[in-house]
C-alpha cells in the first residue's frame, strides 16, 4: 500500500530539495568529520531518496527531468532508474518540461528497482507520449553476467579537475564491469559540454509554458487582493505561489522563447539536443552501455549552493545528456568518498534497453559491496 507523500523541490526544479514550498528535507547522512553539518538529500526527489536511505520505506517513486531520480539516489547511497522516455505514464504528474519528464523508481537495490519499474511501466492512452510496447519481465531477466557486452567510457566526462574520489570510484566501476565479463571501450560523446546549457534553455522554456496555467483560476492557489481585477489576481497569485527558483526558470524560459531571442537560444538549444542524441547513436555502434559518474560531487551542504544557481546547475552535468536523448539511465552506489559520503555510478543504455542497464547495475551492486547505511542520528 501507499504510505504517504514525500517532499520534493517546487515543481521538481532543483538539485538539493531546497526549493520546496514546504522547506527542505535533510539527508540522513553526515560527514565523518565529527560535525553535524546538514547535507542536501539531492533533488528534486530528496524526500524519496531520504525516506529510502533512512529505511522509512523500501522504495519510492520519483520523476527525472534532468537527473532527479539519479542524483538524489547517488547522494544517499541507494539505486534509482529513469527508464526510456515514454515507458511510464506521466498522467497525474504535474508537467515540468514535457519533452524530458519521465517517472521511475528509487529503491535500496537493483532488484527492487526492477520490481517497481515493472509495476510502473506500460502503455497509457491518457499520456500522448506513452510508448505502446509490452513491459518486459525485468526482474525475471536480471542477469549480472555481462559476457558479450561492451561498455563505453566517455572521455568527455573526465572533466578537468574532476573530484579524485569520483575518478577513483569510476575506475572501480570499470574494473567491476570487466570482472563481470564486459569488454571496456573508450568512446567519445563530443557534444557533452553543450548538454547542460541546452538543458537549462529547453527545460525552463517548457516550464514557462507549462506553468502558465497557474493563474489562480483553475490551478494552484488563488491570491485575490481586495478590489483586485483579473490581471492583479494573476500577478498576486503567481507572486505568492512561485518560489525564487521557479520564478527564475519562468523568466529564463519566457526570455528564450521571446520573438527576439527564440532563434538565438531556443532553436539553437534544440539543434544541440539533436547533436547530443546523435552522439549516443554513434556511440551505440561501439558499445551497448555507457558507464560514468552520476554526479560530479558527493552531497553538498545545505545552503552551500543556494546563492549561486549556476553552481547548483553544474551538479546536473552528468545527468542531463541521457535526459536530452530520452535514454534509460540508472544510478547505483559506487562507494564512499573520503568524507564517508556515498557516490553513485551511472549506467546509460540504448532506448528500451532497461534490462541491459539493470543488469550492469546488478553486476556493480554485487561487486561494490555497498553496505553502508546512514547513521541513525535522529
**Which residues contribute to the site for ligand GLN (CB under 6 A)?**
12-15, 43-44, 63-68, 96, 203, 316
Set of cell numbers at residue 326: 530520452
Work out how close the CB of 308 gets to ligand GLN at its nearest, in angstroms, rounded to a whole number: 14
Quick one: which of 21, 19, 37 has its CA closest to 29?
Answer: 37
Residue 317 CB, shortest distance to ligand GLN, in Å, is 10
**Nearer CB in complex with ligand GLN: 12/362:** 12
> Where does the chain show beta strands of DSSP type E?
59-63, 79-82, 103-107, 150-154, 183-187, 289-293, 329-336, 342-349
Nearer CB in complex with ligand GLN: 45/355: 45
Angle of CA points 69, 71, 76, to nearest 5°: 100
Nearest to 169 by CA among 296, 67, 66, 42: 296
Complex with ligand GLN: residue 196 or 341, whichever CB lies closer: 196
> Rounded distance, CA 27 to CA 41, Å?
4
Cβ-closest residue to ligand GLN?
68
The dihedral formed by the CA atoms of 95, 100, 105 and 110, expressed in degrees to the nearest 10: 180
CB of 299: closest distance to ligand GLN in angstroms?
14
Q: What is the CA radius of gyration of the chain?
A: 20
Place of cell 520534493: 8
Name 140's Cβ contacts closer than 8 Å, sequence gap at least 6: none
Which of residues 113 and 329 has its CB atom nearest to ligand GLN in the complex?
329
Cell numbers that stand for 291 in this block: 558507464
Nearest CA among 20, 199, 144, 16 for reference residue 6:
20
Residue number with CB closer to ligand GLN (71 or 355):
71
- Residue 10 or 130: which CB sits closer to ligand GLN? 10
Min dist. Cβ of residue 56 to ligand GLN (A): 22
| CA gap 317, 67 in Å, rounded | 9
Cis peptide before 44 (omega within 30 of 0): yes
Secondary element (H or E) of residue 325: helix 320-325
User: Which CB atom, from 46 or from 241, has the smaller least distance to ligand GLN?
Assistant: 46
How many Å apart are CA 357 and CA 264, to the nearest integer? 36
Query: Which C-beta is closer to ligand GLN: that of 63 or that of 89?
Result: 63
Q: How far is the CB of 6 from ligand GLN (least distance, A)?
A: 14
Q: By C-alpha distance, which of 52, 48, 132 is closest to 84?
A: 132
The distance of closest approach from Cβ of residue 79 to ligand GLN in the complex, given in angstroms and rounded to an integer, is: 17
Distance between CA 47 and CA 159 in Å, rounded?
30
Nearer residue to ligand GLN within complex by CB, 43 or 333: 43
Amino acid at each position: 500500500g501507499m504510505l504517504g507523500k514525500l517532499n520534493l523541490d517546487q515543481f521538481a526544479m532543483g538539485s538539493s530539495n531546497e526549493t520546496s514550498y514546504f522547506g527542505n528535507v535533510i539527508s540522513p547522512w553526515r560527514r565523518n568529520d565529527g560535525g553535524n553539518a546538514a547535507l542536501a538529500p539531492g533533488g528534486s526527489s530528496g524526500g524519496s531518496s531520504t525516506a529510502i536511505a533512512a529505511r522509512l520505506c523500501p522504495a519510492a517513486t520519483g520523476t527525472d527531468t534532468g537527473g532527479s531520480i539519479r542524483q538524489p539516489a547517488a547522494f544517499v547511497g541507494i539505486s534509482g532508474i529513469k527508464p526510456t522516455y515514454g515507458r511510464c505514464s506521466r498522467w497525474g504528474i504535474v508537467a515540468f518540461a514535457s519533452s524530458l519528464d519521465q517517472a521511475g523508481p528509487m529503491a535500496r537495490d537493483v532488484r527492487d528497482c526492477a520490481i517497481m519499474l515493472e509495476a510502473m511501466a506500460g502503455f497509457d492512452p491518457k499520456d500522448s507520449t506513452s510508448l505502446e510496447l509490452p513491459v518486459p519481465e525485468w526482474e525475471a531477466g536480471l542477469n549480472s553476467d555481462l559476457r558479450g557486452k561492451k561498455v563505453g567510457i566517455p572521455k568527455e566526462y573526465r572533466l578537468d579537475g574532476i573530484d579524485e574520489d569520483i575518478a577513483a570510484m569510476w575506475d572501480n566501476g570499470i574494473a567491476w564491469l570487466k570482472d563481470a565479463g564486459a569488454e571496456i571501450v573508450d568512446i567519445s560523446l563530443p557534444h557533452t559540454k553543450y548538454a547542460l546549457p541546452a538543458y537549462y534553455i529547453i527545460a525552463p522554456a517548457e516550464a514557462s509554458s507549462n506553468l502558465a496555467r497557474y493563474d489562480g483560476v483553475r490551478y494552484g492557489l488563488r491570491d485575490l487582493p481586495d478590489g483586485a481585477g483579473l490581471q492583479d489576481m494573476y500577478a498576486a497569485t503567481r507572486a505568492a505561489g512561485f518560489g525564487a527558483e521557479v520564478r527564475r526558470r519562468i523568466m529564463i524560459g519566457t526570455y528564450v522563447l521571446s520573438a527576439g531571442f527564440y532563434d538565438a537560444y531556443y532553436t539553437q538549444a534544440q539543434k544541440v539536443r539533436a547533436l547530443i542524441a546523435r552522439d549516443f547513436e554513434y556511440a551505440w555502434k561501439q558499445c551497448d552501455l555507457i558507464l560514468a559518474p552520476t554526479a560530479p560531487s558527493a552531497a553538498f551542504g545545505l545552503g552551500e549552493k543556494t546563492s549561486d544557481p549556476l553552481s547548483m546547475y553544474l551538479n546536473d552535468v552528468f545527468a542531463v545528456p541521457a535526459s536530452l536523448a530520452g535514454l534509460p539511465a540508472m544510478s547505483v552506489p559506487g562507494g564512499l568518498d573520503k568524507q564517508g559520503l556515498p557516490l553513485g555510478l551511472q549506467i546509460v543504455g540504448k532506448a528500451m534497453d532497461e534490462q541491459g542497464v539493470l543488469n550492469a547495475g546488478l553486476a556493480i551492486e554485487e561487486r561494490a559491496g555497498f553496505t553502508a547505511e546512514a547513521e541513525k542520528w535522529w
